[in-house]
Amino acid sequence: MVDSCTEVAGLLAAAAEKADRPAPAIAAVREVGDTDWVRQTQAQFPPTRIDERLWIVPTWHEPPDAAAINIRLDPGVAFGTGTHPTTRLCLLWLAQADLRNACVLDYGCGSGILAIAAARLGARAVVGTDIDLLALEAARANSEINHVVARYTAPQELGRGQYDVVLANILANPLLILAPALVERLAPGGCIVLSGILDRQAQQVIDAYAELQVDLSLAVWRSENGWSCVVGMRQH
Please provide the CATH number assigned to the domain covering 79-234. 3.40.50.150
The model scores a pTM over 0.85: no
DSSP 21-73: SPPPPP----------HHHHHHHTS--EEEETTEEEE-TTS--S-TTSEEEE-
pLDDT in tens, 95-141: 999 999 999 999 999 999 999 999 999 999 999 999 999 999 999 99
Sheet with 54-57, edge to edge strand ranges: 48-51, 54-57, 69-72
**Domain layout of the chain by residue ranges:** 1-31, 79-234
CA 153: distance to chain centroid?
16
pLDDT in tens, 24-37: 777 676 666 554 44
